[in-house]
Amino acid sequence: MPKQRIRDPLHNLIEFETGEEFEFCLWRVIQTREFQRLRRIKQLGFSELVYPGATHSRFAHSVGVFHTARQLIEVIRRHTQRVEDSKVREALAAALVHDLGHGPFSHAFESVGKRLGLNMADHEVVSDALIRDSKVAEILRGLGSGFANDVADVIRGRGNRNIYRAVVSSQFDADRLDYMRRDRLMAGTQHAAVDFQWLLANLEVGNVPYGVDQEQLGEVETFVLGSKAIYAAEGFVLGLFQLYPTVYLHKATRGAEKLYTELICRIVELIRQGLTSKTGLPSNHPLVRFAERPDDLETALSLDDSVIWGGLCLMMDAEDRGVAEAARRLHDRNLYKCFDVRTMLTDPANSDPAYEIELERSLAEIKEKLTTWSAENSRGIPRILIDQATRSLYRPLEESKGPLDQINIRTPNGDLVDLSKRSPVVGALQIFRLFRVYVSREDREAASIVETTIKEGQR
Convert the pLDDT of each residue in 68-96 to its tens digit: 999 999 999 999 888 999 999 999 999 99
Alpha carbon distances (Å) from 244 to 27, 49, 159, 235, 257: 33, 16, 31, 14, 15
193: nearest Cα among 250, 226, 240, 244:
240
Rounded average pLDDT over 380-407: 81
Contact 260, 47 (CB under 8 A): no
Q: Judge whether residue 37 has pLDDT over 90.
A: yes
CA 448 to chain centre: 34
Convert the pLDDT of each residue in 302-329 to its tens digit: 999 999 999 999 999 999 999 999 999 9
Torsion of CA 29, 34, 38, 40, to 10 degrees: 140
Rounded average pLDDT over 361-388: 95
Q: What is the residue-averaged pLDDT of the chain?
A: 93
Rounded average pLDDT over 23-40: 97
Query: Of 44-48, 321-325, 394-398, which gets the smallest average pLDDT?
Result: 394-398
Predicted pLDDT at 294: 95
- What distance in Å separates the CA atoms of residue 103 and residue 100, rounded to the nearest whole number? 9
Q: Judge whether residue 54 has pLDDT over 70.
A: yes
CA atoms within 13 A on the CB side of 225: 24
Predicted pLDDT at 412: 86
- What distance in Å separates the CA atoms of residue 232 and residue 423, rounded to the nearest whole number? 11
- What distance in Å separates the CA atoms of residue 301 and residue 26, rounded to the nearest whole number? 20
The pTM of this model reads 0.94
Predicted pLDDT at 349: 83
Top-confidence residue, 218 or 270: 270
Categorise residue 203: left if φ over 0, alpha if ψ from -120 to 50, beta otherwise.
Answer: beta
Top-confidence residue, 459 or 409: 409
Topology annotation, domain 1-188: Hypothetical protein af1432 (1.10.3210)
SS3 216: strand
Q: Judge whether residue 391 has pLDDT over 70.
A: yes
Convert the pLDDT of each residue in 12-23 to its tens digit: 999 999 889 999
Convert the pLDDT of each residue in 177-235 to its tens digit: 999 999 999 999 998 999 999 999 999 999 888 765 556 667 888 999 999 999 999 99
% the chain with pLDDT above 90? 82
Q: Judge whether residue 152 has pLDDT over 80.
A: yes
Q: What is the DSSP string of 335-401?
A: PPEEEEHHHHH--TT---HHHHHHHHHHHHHHHHHHHHHHHHH-SSS-SEEEEEEEE-S---GGGSS
Rounded average pLDDT over 377-392: 93
Q: Judge whether residue 287 has pLDDT over 60.
A: yes
Predicted pLDDT at 220: 84
Q: Phi and psi dihedrals of 204, rounded to 5?
A: -130, 180
Q: Judge whether residue 5 has pLDDT over 80.
A: yes
